[in-house]
Structure 1
């Protein structure tokens, strides 16, 4: 009986997710289609979508040290990717307009792919040229003062390790542009949608923010040094609060 209720709750939550996207989709797509500044309006509606869906699905948020974000400057946000729910969590966690890297496969989801594609950069992670072009596009947005968000593990972490090995893209981007990295630890999302299951449960997501990490001066080892420092910082946050 409990399993049936759990399945029905998941179906309700998924339907609510897409119903809200259908209602708010045009309010998200139209402003950002006209101008970069319009993206601020689009993100207001993205956060409304994420907040209403989370509330309706019994998901609560707890923020720690969010005041470390200076909203007047762009960052390259990195986070630990452990759940499919991160697509709804990240807009709530980041109080700025951002551009995110997204798996190309998600662009094929009807309507979702069209709406999210206005604020995401689809990338084929198996294709080096696609990855390079996606980073080049993020550089353009960063120069316009728009933050970027990257999951440096490159894929969802289903292992028991706090983090998977980091890819270099976000850190090369930081060294090339001089824009700081701001790590975010997302704790509890993998309990709401557990590993190996598509079922959704109510619960709390705790979000912890780090002090921004400035990139070192450009050198042969700058990218590796920054990646190692950021991974150590984020791993420490996860182990401390997880």
Structure 2
């Protein structure tokens, strides 16, 4: 039984990593590369402790156009590891305002320059997304958004998307870069030294130049289908033949 000591150790490492993230945030508060810097502390060692092989493919696509809106699939709380390992420089994430109340992590998240949104009502949510557009245009930041809006937890390969990320990209006239993670919810064998493998596939930038807000639904549907098909291919490659379509 290595599950308990493994997760005890990764919890301790996570706390240390986020404390280091706080130190980085104090030294350069709200810098858009703080997320990347902390991810480089947390993730390589974290993956080794967890026995997870992580592979990222085509990360050169991040360099083709900048800034951009990065959209990725949302599976469970473990997302911080593949997400942290994938986040490029000058890229912040979008999170609920309640995150700041999580001990240690919340302070790190705030100091890292991530964008907090208030989902309590539509008016506040809309104002928050307008702020995201402003951050992209005025501060030359990319933004990491999980358009499912909630953790999938294995209910399907990819849950339906919300439009916010796509309206934001159109309003800012910046490309969308999809990142597809192979399914890992209930796929890792945590009691084995080699728990499993996760593949992150960075897709080609999808331009939004000339698009209008009314084009957001088609854009969203196109990206959804592209990502779903890519995740299916990654799952097939890893032998997850029982999870290549909706249950």
TM over 0.5: yes
Task: Give distance in 1, aligned partners of 2:105 and 2:171.
Answer: 32
Could you list the per-position Cα deviations for residues 27-72 of structure 1 after superposition, in whole angstroms to 9, with x for gaps in the alignment?
2343134xxxx43366324422333333333333111222222266
The aligned runs of 1:136-151 (5 Å cut-off) are 136-143=130-137, 144-151=139-146
Q: 1:41 to 1:117 in 2, by over 3 A?
A: closer
Structure 1 residues 127 and 66, CA gap change in structure 2 (3 angstroms):
same
Distance apart, 1:146 and its partner CA: 0.9
The answer to whether the aligner puts 1:103 opposite 2:100 as a matched pair is no
Give me the whole-angstrom Cα distance separating, in 2, the residues matched to 1:168 and 1:44.
29
Choose which of 40, 43, 65 in structure 2 pairs with 1:47.
Answer: 40
Matched, 1:14 2:11: yes
172, 182, 191: which is aligned to 1:187? 182
Distance 1:192 1:55, change over 3 A: farther
Once residues 225 and 92 of structure 2 are traced to their aligned partners in structure 1, the CA distance between those partners, rounded to angstroms, is 24
Candidates 109, 125, 129, aligned match of 1:131: 125
Residue matched to 1:162: 157
- 1:121–1:219 Cα change, 3 Å: closer
CA contact (8 A) 1:216 1:222 kept: no
- Alignment counterpart, residue 67 of structure 1, candidates 46, 60, 68: 60
Gap regions ≥5 residues in structure 1: none
Contact 1:184 1:208 in 2 (8 A): yes
**Structure 1 segment 173-212 matched on structure 2, within 5 A:** 173-191=168-186, 202-212=195-205
Query: Cα offset for 1:117?
Result: 1.5
Matched, 1:171 2:166: yes
Shift of 1:101: 1.1
Contact 1:101 1:134 in 2 (8 A): no
After superposing the two structures, state which structure 1 stretch, 101-110 or 47-56, moved more. Answer: 47-56
Q: Tell me how many residue pairs correspond in the alignment.
A: 230
Alpha-carbon distance in structure 1 between the residues aligned to 2:21 and 2:213 = 46
Contact 2:19 2:108 in 1 (8 A): no
Moved more, 216-225 or 100-109: 216-225
CA contact (8 A) 2:72 2:181 kept: yes
Give yes or no for contact 1:153–1:165 (8 Å, CA) kept in 2.
Answer: yes
Question: What SS does structure 2 have at the residue aligned with 1:11?
Answer: helix
Following superposition, the deviation at residue 90 of structure 1 comes to: 1.6
Shift of 1:178: 0.8
Check if 1:85 corresponds to 2:78. Answer: yes
Contact kept? 1:171, 1:223, Cα under 8 Å:
yes
Contact 2:72 2:180 in 1 (8 A): yes
Q: TM-score, normalised by structure 2?
A: 0.82
Match of 2:22 in 1: 25
Corresponding position: 1:232 with 2:222: no
